[in-house]
Amino acid sequence: MTNAVGGFSDAAANWWSAVLNGFIRVDAPDVSTLLLLGIVAAAVALSIPRVTWRWFGLYVTFVHELGHAFAALMTGRFIHGLKIGLDHSGQLVSSGRRGFSATWSGFWGYPAPAVVGAALVWSVSAGWAGAAASIGALVLLVALIFLRNFTGIIVALISAVIAQSLVMFADAQTVSYVVLALGIALGVGSVRDFFKVASVHTRRRAQLASSDAYILYSSTGVPSFIWLSGFALVIAGSAMFSTWLLWGMLAL
């Protein structure tokens, strides 16, 4: 029993040491045009083909819901639970004052993967990919507290295992390349999800009740196309920022 406790304590200490080591700044990686094309291809392979999107899309949905959750916490709302469905649906239940806090939380779903993706690309360009991996690992563990269904817990656990393994066992250059691919993939996934929600307002109006833009319209009276335009602006801005950063890395 004592050996088991000691072994767990050593493993926890090694994990925490690896997390802290991620906060040491390193030089931005050398990224050739060919390597960048390979990273972009890997990101697209995760977020475009149906066979991979079926699974990676669950992670994008997870980030989408975490965007709602983080925005809710920013305005003092209380998080009751978070669910993710195998059909890429998601639900965040929170309570608090009506008005700005509910609207703010409701907005930051679809843009969240694009913003997180841009932040990951920036972390690589600034030499903080390790910190991004460490923070991501911690966020995934904390998110388990809020999950209320089996699919959500499985998605979080698998994502957490991958993040923990990256933090503990990968060298700095590998971390940079993986974080860069993930950032690009989240950006592409955000664009894909935006077109999906836009199509709900044009071709699949029977599903309007599931659209964040429609829910925001119902609660504020501001037309859905305004909210869709807001999503698009943030996503496009994130994509432009990421592209600028990638161009800068190529120029190093």
pLDDT tens digits, one per residue of 14-59: 888 888 888 888 888 888 899 999 999 999 999 999 999 999 999 9
Q: Looking at residue 4, what is its pLDDT?
A: 57
Q: What is the chain's mean pLDDT, rounded?
A: 91
Residue carrying structure tokens 């694009």 = 114
Percent of the chain at pLDDT exceeding 90: 71
Question: Smallest Cα–Cα separation from 238: which of 196, 194, 200, 199?
Answer: 194
pLDDT per residue as tens digits for the range 176-207: 999 999 999 999 999 999 999 999 998 888 88
Residue 83 host element (H or E): strand 78-84
Distance separating alpha carbons of residues 93 and 151, to the nearest angstrom:
16
Find out whether 164 and 15 touch, Cβ atoms under 8 Å.
yes
- Looking at the chain, the whole-number percentage of residues with pLDDT higher than 70 is 96
Instruction: Answer whether 127's CB lies under 8 Å from 54's CB.
Output: no
Does the pLDDT value for residue 251 go beyond 70?
A: no
Sequence-distant (≥ 6) Cβ neighbours of residue 6 within 8 angstroms: none
Containing H/E element for 212? helix 212-220
- How far apart are the C-alpha atoms of 137 and 154, rounded to whole Å? 15
**74 confidence band (pLDDT: 50, 70, 90):** very high
- Kindly report, residue by residue over 82-141, the tens digit of the pLDDT: 999 999 999 999 998 888 999 999 999 999 999 999 999 999 999 999 999 999 989 988
227 has a pLDDT exceeding 70: yes
Torsion of CA 134, 130, 161, 84, to 10 degrees: 70
> How confident is the model at residue 75, as a pLDDT?
93
